[in-house]
Structure 1
Amino acid sequence: MVHSEATALFRDLRKNALMTFGQVTTYTTMMAPPRKEPPWYPVSSNEQQCFQDLAAMDDMQLDTISAAMQSLDKPLALETEVEQQLLPEICELLGSKEKASPVTISSLELLNNYRSSHGRLSGEKLNEPTDGVAYPTGGGDELSTEEVIRIAAAHFVQMSTHKESDPRHPADFSSLGLTNEEIKNVDLASLLLVAAEKVSNQQYDRASNLLQECRRLSSDTGHPVQRVVFYFAGALQERINRETGGLSWTVPKDRGMTAQEVIKATRSAHPLHLALHKKVPYAQIKDFTSVQTILDNVATARKIHLIDLSIKHGLRWVILLQALATRSTCPIDRLKISAVGSPEEAITATGNRLVSFAEALGLPFSFKAVIVSDIKDLSEDMFELEEGEAIGVHSAMVMSSMIVRPDRLENVMRVMRKLKPCIMTVADVEAELNSPSFINRFTEALFYCSAFFDYLASFMDRDDKTRVATEGSFLWQGIRSIIAAEGSERVVRHVGISVWRSFFSRYGLVKTEMNEWSHYQASLLGKQFANGHFCTLDKNGKALTLGWKGTPLLFLSAWKFQ
C-alpha cells in the first residue's frame, strides 16, 4: 500500500513537471531582481509584539513574565550521561558543562529556566506572520496553543511569587478578553504546570492527584491544548511511576524504544512520512531547499554521487532529477544515489521508483542501497566511488537520533570526512531538549510541542488519521523519553544549530550559505498551503530556521570540509 502511494505521488510529480521546482523556480525568476544584486526577501512591515494580547495585565505581572521568559541567553549544550564512557573526546565536545540541578526547585525556577522561543530567533528575518498576534489554530480568532501556555505560565509565575496565592486556583482572565473556552484551556495548562512542579519536588502523591485531574479534563482527540496536556500529563505520571515503582499509565500503546530503534526509525520509510509530505509544508520546504543547495554546489559537475543517510521514500530526489534533466548547461554523464539504511526491501523499492523516473527523463542514473542494520558498521568502502565524482551528502533528522549513541555519531562523521563531499546538507530539530535538568527539558519541550501541535492542527482536521498517528506515535515517543526517562533510557535528545555548529567544526566542517534564492522560494512554497502564511523563516548565521508563528521548529544548514 505504501509503495503504491509513493509510486502514485511520483507519477503526479512527473505529470505536473514537478510544481515545487518548475513553477516556483519560474515564478521566482520572473519576480527576482538581477542576479548581480542580492535578492529582496519579503519582510512584513506589520511587526507586532508577541504579548499584545497580554496588554491589559498589570505591570507587575508583565515584568514578572518578561524576566522569567528572557533570563537565559546561552544555548543548552548536549549532555552525555556520567555512566557513558564511550569516546571521551566526543563526549567532552558534546557534553554539557551545565551540572544537573538539585531535584527540589522553587516554583519560579520552572519558568526562569525557559528561554523565550521568540528570544531565540535572531538574525535576518525572511518573513513573519502577517495577521497579528491572536493566531488561529485552523480558522477563527482563538489563541494559539503556545499563547495559551504562555498566559498560563505568566499566571503560574505570578502566583508562585506570592506565598498566599495558590496557582491551582483559576485566575480572573476577564481583563484579557478571553472566551470561556480559552479560559478553560489556560486553567488546564496551569494545572499541568503545577503538577510538573510537584513532580520536580518529588511530591508524587500531590502530583498524581493533579495529573488525574489533567487526565479527566484532557484528551488525545480534543483541542490542541487538551492534546498537549494529555501527552505531557501521561509522561509526568510515567516519570512518577518509574521513581516509585508504580504501574505505567495507560497512555502509551507500545513499549519504549531503545536507542538503536530510534536511529532505525529515523531512517525508515514509515507511511506517516509520506502522508505528512502531502499535508504539511515543512517536509516539502526542507526537501526543496536542501536540493537547491546541492544543485548549486554540483553545477559544473558531469559525474554526481549523492549519499542520503535517510532516504525514506526518496521524494526529495525527484526534485533533483527533474532539475538535472532540464539543465541546459553541463549535461550529466553519470548520476548515482547511494541510500544508507535498512531494511533492504524498502530501500530497494525506493530505488526502483527513482530509476523508473530517471529513465522517463532520459537521465543516466544508477541507485545503490547501502544496507547497514547498525550505522556503527558504516564504512567508506561501502560506496562505489569513482574518480572525478562530485559527492553530496544529505542528512535529515539523523544526527540528533545518534546523540544518545556518540560512537555511532563519531563513526558517521569519520566516514563523511574520508569521503570529503563538496557539500553536506543537514536538517534537524531546532530545540534544546537535552539538558541534564528535568525541569529545563520539561519547559523547553512544552513550548516546542505546543507550537508543533498547533502547526499540525492548522493543516489537518481533528479526526485526521495522519495527525492522530503522528501525535500518538512519533511525538508521544519523544515527549515520553524527554520527560519520563533519565540516563541511557532517555533516547530522544535534540539540540539546536548552535550546538551542532560547534560539533561539526571539530571535524573540519565549515558552514556555508544555503542557496540564495531558496529562502524566497521556501516562503512561496509555504504560502501554497492554507494557513501557510504562519510559517516563519529566519536566518541563524548561515543556516535557515523554519518556525511556526515565531517559534523555531527545524533548521536547515549546509557544510563543507576544509
Structure 2
Amino acid sequence: MEEEVNNELPLPDIEVNSDVPRGPFALLNRYGNKLKRLSSKGGENSSKSQLLSAMTIMNMAEKVLSQSIHEKRGDVSNLVEAFGSDYADYLKRVVWLLDASEKLTKRQYDEAEELLVLALSGSLEGHPIETVLTFYGKYLQEKIEVERGRIDLERKVEHVDIEQAVMDLKVGVVECEQKLPYSQISNFTGVQTILDSVAAAERIHFIDFGPKFGSYWILVMDALARQGVKQLKISAVFSATDSVEETGNLLTSFAESMNLPFVFKILHLDTWEFKKDHLQLEAGETVAVFMKFCLMPLSDQPNGIGALLRGIKDLNPLILIVIDVEADINALDFAHRFKEALLLTCALFDSLEACLGRGNHYRKIVEKVHFQEVICNGILSEDGGFKRCFKIDLWRKYFAEFGLVEMELSQPSMHQARLMVKGSPSWSCCTLKMNGKSMIIGWNGIPIQFVSAWKFHYPVSPAIDLFILH
C-alpha cells in the first residue's frame, strides 16, 4: 500500500491564500510566472500515469518476498498472482532482484546469479521499474564478480564523474533540474531563508560549499540590489573550476547591470581542508553559509565533516543552510543497505517519469548524474568504506555536538514552497513535510532531501566520531 500523500506544510501564523507573504525579501513572488512556464512544459506524461509506480511495485514485491521467505522460490509466482495478475511480471522480477541480494549476503553466489538472470529477463517497455532493474541488476552482478575474484573492483567498475558530467552536459542537466521539484524547492527555500535573515545587513558575504555552485544566486542579487546593500561578496568553495568560473562571470555581469557592488571569489580546495584564513573576511561583513550535498561525500572520512564545521564556526556566520539527501543508506548489512538504496531510487525514477517523460533527450543523463552514485555507494563498497546517507534526525544529534542549534526556516520560504508544488501539475506527487524545524521534500511520501537552517550557539566539543551515534 502506498504511503499517504501529503504536500501540506503546517505554516503557523500564515493565512493560506493566493498571495505570497511580503517579508523583507519576498524573493519568489516575482518568479511565479517563470515557474508556471517551466511547469507547463514539464514531462510529456505530466498527468498521473495509469501504470503502477515503481515505488508501489517495490512495496508489493517486499511483501511477496516476506511471505515466501520460508517457502520455495517456485511458489513466488502464486504469491504474486494474489496481488493481481496484471502486474505479475513487474512484481516477479523485483522479487527476484531482492531475493538475489539476500542470497549474495549469504554468499550463495550461484543462486544469486540464477535469480539475476530471471530479474533481468523480459521487457517492461520503458516503465521506471525497468530502469531500476537494469541499474541494480548490473551492479549486483558486478559485486558478485568482485566477491568471487573474477574482476578487480578498482579496474572494472566505472563510477560516474558527477562534476565532469555536469560540465559536459550542463545545459541539459539544468533544463531537467528546472522541471524536477527537489532542486527548485530546496534552493529557493534555502536562499529565501538566508535573505530573510540578513535583511538588516549592509555588507553581506555568502559562502557556498558543495558540488553544484548555482545560478540561483542571481535571484539573491536581484533582491539585494533592490535593497541598496553597500557590498555583496560571494565565495565558492569548490574542487572543480570551469563551471564555477562560468557562473561567476555570469553573476559579475548581472551585478554590473544592476549597479550592485559585487565581489566574487573561488576557492579551489576540498571542503574538509577549509579554514577561516582561506577567506578574506572584512570588518562589518555579515556572513551566511550555504552548504548543499557536502555531507554524503565526506561521510566516509570521519574527520572531514568535523573539520568543515569547525572551519565554518570560525567564520561566525549569522546562518548556515544545510541541504542534503534524506535517506538511511548506511547499514553494514548489505541486504538492508541494498533495499534502502532501491527504495530511494524507485521514488526518484518515479519523479522523472512524471516530470520529464520518457521522450526527454536528457533523461538518461540525469539518471546517471544524480542517481548512479547512490547505487554504487549502496551496493559495491564494503568494510564501511561506502559513502553514507543519513536522515536529518541523526545529523541533528551530530550537529549539536558542534554547537549548532536548529533554526526555523522562514515562513515566506515555506509558504512559497507549498505554492510551487500546487502550481505545477507534474509535481502533484511531491510531498513537503516538517521534521522538527527542517523541511523534508519527498515523492509519494518517500523522503528525498532535507532543507535545514542552523546557527552556532556554544563551543565546539572535542573531536567525535559520527558513526558512534548510529
TM-score bin, normalised by smaller chain: 0.7 to 0.9
Question: Structure 2 residue aligned with 1:153, among 62, 69, 79?
Answer: 62
1:457 aligns with 2:349: no
Structure 2 contact 329–378 (Cα < 8 Å) conserved = yes
Question: Structure 1 residue aligned with 2:223, among 305, 323, 346?
Answer: 323
1:172 CA displacement:
5.5
1:506 CA displacement:
1.3
1:355 aligns with 2:255: no
Give the Cα–Cα distance (whole angstroms) in 2 for the partners of residues 499 and 481 of structure 1.
19
1:400 CA displacement:
1.5
Aligned pair in 2 of structure 1 residues 474, 468: CA closer, same or farther (>3 Å)? same
Partner of 2:277: 381
Query: Per-residue displacement from partner, 1:232-263 (whole Å, max 9, x unpaired)?
Result: 112221221111012489xx996237xxx77x
Aligned pair in 2 of structure 1 residues 437, 268: CA closer, same or farther (>3 Å)? farther
Partner of 1:184: 89
Question: Structure 2 residue aligned with 1:31, among 19, 27, 44?
Answer: 19
Identity percentage of aligned residues: 33
Q: What is the identity, as a one-letter code, of the residue corresponding to 2:216?
A: R
Map residues 152-231 of structure 1 onto 2, 5 A cutoff: 152-161=61-70, 163=71, 165-166=72-73, 169-171=76-78, 176=83, 178=84, 180=86, 182-217=87-122, 222-231=126-135
Q: What is the identity, as a one-letter code, of the residue corresponding to 1:335?
A: L
Aligned pair in 2 of structure 1 residues 440, 174: CA closer, same or farther (>3 Å)? closer
Question: Structure 2 residue aligned with 1:539, among 424, 434, 441?
Answer: 434
Give the Cα–Cα distance (whole angstroms) in 2 for the partners of residues 267 and 401 of structure 1.
17
Aligned pair in 2 of structure 1 residues 201, 253: CA closer, same or farther (>3 Å)? closer
Structure 1 contact 268–310 (Cα < 8 Å) conserved = no
Give the Cα–Cα distance (whole angstroms) in 2 for the partners of residues 141 and 179 of structure 1.
16
Give the Cα–Cα distance (whole angstroms) in 1 for the partners of residues 55 and 205 of structure 2.
43
Higher relative contact order (CA closer than 8 Å, sequence separation 6+): 2
Query: Per-residue displacement from partner, 1:442-481 (whole Å, max 9, x unpaired)?
Result: 1111111111111111111224232211223442232122
1:418 CA displacement:
0.5
Query: Per-residue displacement from partner, 1:17-37 (whole Å, max 9, x unpaired)?
Result: xxxxxxxxxx988636899xx
Give the Cα–Cα distance (whole angstroms) in 1 for the partners of residues 302 and 167 of structure 2.
20
Aligned pair in 2 of structure 1 residues 457, 140: CA closer, same or farther (>3 Å)? closer
Structure 1 contact 534–548 (Cα < 8 Å) conserved = yes
Aligned pair in 2 of structure 1 residues 461, 265: CA closer, same or farther (>3 Å)? same
1:483 CA displacement:
1.1
Structure 1 contact 268–312 (Cα < 8 Å) conserved = no
Structure 2: 5+ residue runs without aligned partners?
1-14, 24-44, 458-470
Root mean square deviation, CA, Å: 2.9
Partner of 1:394: 290
SS at match of 1:555: strand
Question: Structure 1 residue aligned with 2:382, among 471, 486, 504?
Answer: 486
Q: What is the identity, as a one-letter code, of the residue corresponding to 2:435?
A: N
Partner of 1:408: 304
Give the Cα–Cα distance (whole angstroms) in 1 for the partners of residues 220 and 230 of structure 2.
15
Query: Per-residue displacement from partner, 1:200-231 (whole Å, max 9, x unpaired)?
Result: 11110011111122222358x82111111111
Partner of 1:56: none
Structure 2 contact 166–369 (Cα < 8 Å) conserved = no
Question: Structure 2 residue aligned with 1:521, among 401, 409, 416?
Answer: 416
Structure 1 contact 137–143 (Cα < 8 Å) conserved = no
Q: What is the identity, as a one-letter code, of the residue corresponding to 2:77?
A: P
Aligned pair in 2 of structure 1 residues 473, 322: CA closer, same or farther (>3 Å)? closer
SS at match of 1:242: helix
Structure 2 contact 68–76 (Cα < 8 Å) conserved = no
Q: What is the identity, as a one-letter code, of the residue corresponding to 1:413?
A: L
TM-score with structure 1 length normalisation?
0.69
Map residues 11-410 of structure 1 onto 2, 5 A cutoff: 31=19, 139-161=48-70, 163=71, 165-166=72-73, 169-171=76-78, 176=83, 178=84, 180=86, 182-217=87-122, 222-247=126-151, 255-256=158-159, 271=170, 273-310=173-210, 312-327=212-227, 331-372=228-269, 374-410=270-306
Give the Cα–Cα distance (whole angstroms) in 1 for the partners of residues 231 and 75 of structure 2.
66
Aligned pair in 2 of structure 1 residues 459, 253: CA closer, same or farther (>3 Å)? farther
Partner of 1:51: none
Give the Cα–Cα distance (whole angstroms) in 2 for the partners of residues 218 and 406 of structure 1.
43
Give the Cα–Cα distance (whole angstroms) in 2 for the partners of residues 379 and 267 of structure 1.
27
Structure 1 contact 269–312 (Cα < 8 Å) conserved = no
SS at match of 1:340: strand
- How many residues were matched structurally? 420
Partner of 1:65: none
Structure 2 contact 218–251 (Cα < 8 Å) conserved = yes
Query: Per-residue displacement from partner, 1:280-308 (whole Å, max 9, x unpaired)?
Result: 12211111100111011101101100000
Aligned pair in 2 of structure 1 residues 498, 377: CA closer, same or farther (>3 Å)? same
Aligned pair in 2 of structure 1 residues 553, 544: CA closer, same or farther (>3 Å)? same
SS at match of 2:289: strand
